[in-house]
Amino acid sequence: MVDVGPKAATAREAVARAAVRMRPATLRLIAAGRAPKGDVIAAARLAGILAAKRTAELIPLCHPLALEAIDLDIALDRRAGCARLESRVRLVAKTGAEMEALVAVAVAALTLYDMCKAVDRAMVIDAIRLVRKTGGKSGTFTRPGERQ
């Protein structure tokens, strides 16, 4: 692990996004709450939040962090044929929360896939990326061309 001992604790935030592309019929099932395994949005949101809290157990050499807030939003975009996922992780620490934000959307997307695979095995998890991070020695990063 990287030695973060000498670093100052600062307020940090990381935002990550992903998309799950699917058939229109699958989107309609999710929106109506009629997926075979139940409430897809609630299950995916909970799975993503829980995964963010366990990132250090999943990613080698990742520091365990005391996260202060994790928001995970999932919006169905019928025009684009996908579910759009966004996580926002906040804390005061000596290291950033980029991995926690990325793990949150990745696991939420995988959960969405798992809950709907019986009706749509052709779903695609797409565009997992860090959108923005603030705090720390390196300051702010904003992905070019990404809406905030």
Q: Give residue 62's pLDDT.
A: 93
Question: What is the pLDDT at residue 5?
Answer: 72
Domain boundaries, the chain: 10-141
The pLDDT score that the predictor gives to residue 4 is: 79
Q: What is the pLDDT of residue 135?
A: 92
pLDDT tens per residue, the chain (148 residues)?
677 777 888 999 999 999 999 999 999 999 999 999 999 999 999 999 999 999 999 999 999 999 999 999 999 999 999 999 999 999 999 888 999 999 999 999 999 999 999 999 999 999 999 999 999 888 899 999 988 7
Number of Cα atoms under 13 Å in the Cβ half of residue 39: 7
CA distance 148 to 19: 16
pLDDT of residue 147: 83
pLDDT digits over 134-143, tens only? Answer: 998 888 999 9
pLDDT of residue 77: 97
By the 10 Å C-beta count (0-12 exposed, 13-18 middle, 19+ buried), 66 is classed as exposed
CATH of domain 10-141: 3.30.70.640
For residue 61, the model assigns a pLDDT of: 92
Q: Maximum distance among all alpha carbons in the chain?
A: 53
Task: Read off φ and ψ for residue 106, nearest 5 degrees.
Answer: -65, -45
The residues carrying an active-site annotation are: 114
Amino acid at residue number 18: A
Q: What is the pLDDT of residue 87?
A: 98
